[in-house]
């Protein structure tokens, strides 16, 4: 009985891992793009950019976290740089909800930018621990922004 429970558990974990991997690779796991919006909102160029950015942020963030865990500073820096390159467009984007709080949305983007930049600075100084700490802070900023502004 114990072996059958363990085998079932392993199958569930494997299926979950496959689903997560496919979801991340297609950009739907943690990102925008699958939600329904009215046509006017989706016609907005910045909303389209936001929908294009979020899968990249999600994937680059996952790769950055993995590289940090492995101690691969060059790969971590490359993914952090990808994120930083897209932040200017994020700052220009509009939130999905709480539209009147655009200033706060931009503040989150500015904080995110500074925090990811501190990941890069820590990596340049060979401070892996500092980079990991900064990355965790960046994750919290993402979560706070999503909680307040995402559908």
> What is the CA angle 125-75-110, rounded to 5?
70
Q: What pLDDT is recorded for position 59?
A: 93
**Measured in Å, how far apart are the chain's first and last C-alpha atoms?**
44
DSSP-assigned letter for residue 52: H
pLDDT band at 27 (very low <50, low <70, confident <90, very high): very low
pLDDT in tens, 6-19: 555 555 555 555 54
pLDDT at 54: 86
Residue 37 pLDDT greater than 90, yes or no: no
Q: What is the largest CA-CA distance in the chain?
A: 58
Length of the chain: 151
Point out the least confidently predicted range of 18-22, 75-79, 100-104, 109-113: 18-22
What is the distance, to the nearest Å, from the Cα of residue 64 to the centroid of all Cα atoms in its chain? 10
Higher pLDDT: 19 or 89? It is: 89
pLDDT, residue 13, reads: 59
Query: Is-contact 96 149, C-beta < 8 A?
Result: yes
The number of beta carbons lying within 10 Å of the beta carbon of residue 58 is 19
Query: pLDDT exceeding 90 applies to what percent of the chain?
Result: 51
Please give the Cα distance from 149 to 146 (Å, whole number). 5
Q: How many CB atoms lie within 10 A of CB 70?
A: 10
pLDDT class for 72, splitting at 50, 70, 90? Answer: very high
Q: pLDDT tens digits for 127-136?
A: 999 999 999 9
How many angstroms separate the CA atoms of 125 and 131, rounded?
9
- Domains of the chain with CATH codes: 31-149 (1.20.120.10)
pTM: 0.70
pLDDT for 31: 42
Residue 35, both tokens: 């939600």
State yes or no: pLDDT of 121 exceeds 90. yes
Ordered alpha helix ranges (H), 27-127: 39-43, 45-70, 73-92, 102-124
Distance CA 67, CA 72 (A): 5
């Amino acid at each position: 009985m114990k072996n059958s429970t363990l085998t079932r558990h392993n199958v569930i974990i494997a299926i979950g891992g496959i689903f997560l991997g496919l979801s991340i690779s297609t950009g739907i796991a943690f990102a925008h793009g699958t939600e329904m919006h009215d046509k006017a909102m989706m016609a907005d160029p910045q909303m389209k950019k936001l929908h294009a950015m979020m899968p990249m942020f999600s994937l680059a963030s996952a790769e950055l976290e993995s590289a940090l865990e492995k101690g691969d500073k060059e790969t971590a820096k490359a993914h952090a740089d990808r994120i930083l390159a897209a932040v200017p467009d994020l700052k220009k984007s509009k939130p999905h909800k709480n539209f009147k709080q655009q200033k706060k949305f931009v503040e989150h983007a500015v904080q995110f930018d500074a925090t990811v930049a501190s990941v890069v600075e820590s990596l340049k100084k060979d401070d892996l621990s500092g980079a990991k700490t900064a990355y965790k802070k960046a994750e919290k900023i993402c979560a706070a922004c999503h909680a307040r502004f995402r559908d």
